[in-house]
Amino acid sequence: MFKPKILSRRDFVRSGALVAAACAAPREIFSLAAKPELSGEPSPIRLGLASYTFRNFTRAQLIGFMKELKVSELNAKDVKDHLPMDAKEEAVALADYAAAGIKLHAAGTIYFPKDEDPDIRSKFEYCKRARIGVIVAGDPTPENLPRIEKFVKEYDIRFAIHNHGPEDKLWKSPLDVLKAVKGMDLRMGCCIDVGHTVRAVTHVVQAIHEAGPRLHNLHMKDLTNSQDKESQVAVGEGRMPVRKMFEALIAIKYSGFVDLEYEIHPDDPMPGVVASFAYMRGVMASLELASHS
């Protein structure tokens, strides 16, 4: 699919990010990072990718990037041709992912503007066809949630409301989501976007603990300024307490995915994406090393 080529500027920068990450971590950490399992037990943190990161690229290009990143778990969105809502087009996309060994675990962000059964059912059918277990939802109103809960029970698909920070009139923080779904089926929960969470002046580690079994997805990013969404950088270059967040996820026995959602440099995201995965894998490996020391 991708032919060898002369080293481009993007490739040069990308290689530099990997070298920098390798130089910043002990050799023992990277030897462990290369092993997905230790003592026969899977790593407690599972990394995935939000396809929105590559929103300016086609599905074929996305698959090529994922192979390059050695990432096989995808949180897909109906953007470009990543996972179309149309059933026939969706089937083609699913066949492409299956052929590439890519598994879809979530879809979103999906919007629910209507409190009507046909509209809601169409979104659940979309995910059922893809055998996706988590809907990441952008804009359901509190009034819509009881109707949506019925579909959650019928389809056995978890519903994760995505918080969008101070600009969001309904779901600024994951704590707002938790208040709204209190007393509902446990499959009604949240997708914590860590960048928007800190901008909503919510302690992200505390939010993970409070969400507990209602945490169904997590969008990872990093910021240099916790009040400025334009300050996003590669994970590890900002102020996000990644290690403490991973420790919190382990403590609550989180079984979902940490999906990188790198929203900057949409025309050339790979250098930042490579650096982000290198940093997260390093943190994971250091936690593994500490647990076996």
Quick check: bond before 109 cis, omega within 30? yes
Residue 175 lies in a domain: yes
**Per-residue confidence at 293, pLDDT binned at 50, 70, 90?**
low
Q: What are the distances in angstroms from CA 47 to CA 75, 85, 245?
A: 11, 25, 13
Q: Which two tokens stand for residue 196?
A: 């928007």
Mean pLDDT of the chain: 88
- As a whole number of angstroms, the distance between CA 273 and CA 54 comes to 10
> Is the CB of residue 14 less than 8 Å from the CB of residue 271?
yes
Tokens of 78: 């109906």
Of 292, 282, 270, 258, residue with least CA distance to 65 = 270
In tens, the pLDDT along 233-252 reads 999 999 999 999 999 999 99
Residue given tokens 């509209």 in the structure block: 119
pLDDT of residue 1: 39
| 204 lies in some domain | yes
pLDDT digits (tens, 9 = 90+) for 212-232: 999 999 999 999 999 999 999
Residues 6+ apart with CB under 8 A from 179: none
Q: Compute the distance between CA of residue 100 and CA of residue 60 in angstroms, rounded to an integer.
A: 10
Q: Kindly state the percentage of the chain with pLDDT values over 90.
A: 82
Per-residue confidence at 41, pLDDT binned at 50, 70, 90?
low
Residue 34: pLDDT band by 50, 70, 90 thresholds? very low
Asked whether residue 30 is domain-assigned, the answer is: no
pLDDT computed for residue 43 by the predictor: 63
Whether 22 maps to a domain, the answer reads: no
**Rounded alpha-carbon distances, angstroms, from residue 130 to 74, 82, 105, 210, 219:** 12, 12, 9, 30, 20
The phi-psi region of residue 131 (left if phi > 0; otherwise alpha if psi is between -120 and 50; otherwise beta) is: left
Residue 178 belongs to a domain with what CATH number?
3.20.20.150
Identify the band that residue 16 occupies on the pLDDT scale cut at 50, 70 and 90.
very low
Assigned domain for 188 exists: yes
Q: Write down the pTM of the prediction.
A: 0.86
> What's the pLDDT band for 203 if we cut at 50, 70, 90?
very high
- Does residue 6 lie within any of the structural domains? no
Q: How would you label 245-282 residue by residue, b for 16+ Cβ within 10 Å and e otherwise? A: bbbbbeeeebebbbbbbbbebeeebbbbbbbbbbbbbb
What are the tokens at 224?
């240099």
User: Does residue 15 sit within a domain?
Assistant: no
Is 1 inside any structural domain?
Answer: no
- Under 8 Å between Cβ of 197 and 204: yes
Per the structure, the count of domains in the chain is 1
- pLDDT per residue over 101-135, tens digit each? 999 999 999 999 999 999 999 999 999 999 999 99
Residues in the chain: 293
**DSSP string computed for 22-40:** HHHS-HHHHHHHT-SEETT
Domain that includes residue 74, residue range: 44-291
Q: Residue 291's pLDDT band (boundaries 50, 70, 90)?
A: low
Q: Across residues 82-95, what is the average pLDDT?
A: 98
pLDDT at 278 over 60: yes
| Alpha-carbon gap, residue 231 to 286, rounded angstroms | 27
Q: Residue 79 corresponds to which tokens in the numbers above?
A: 């953007």
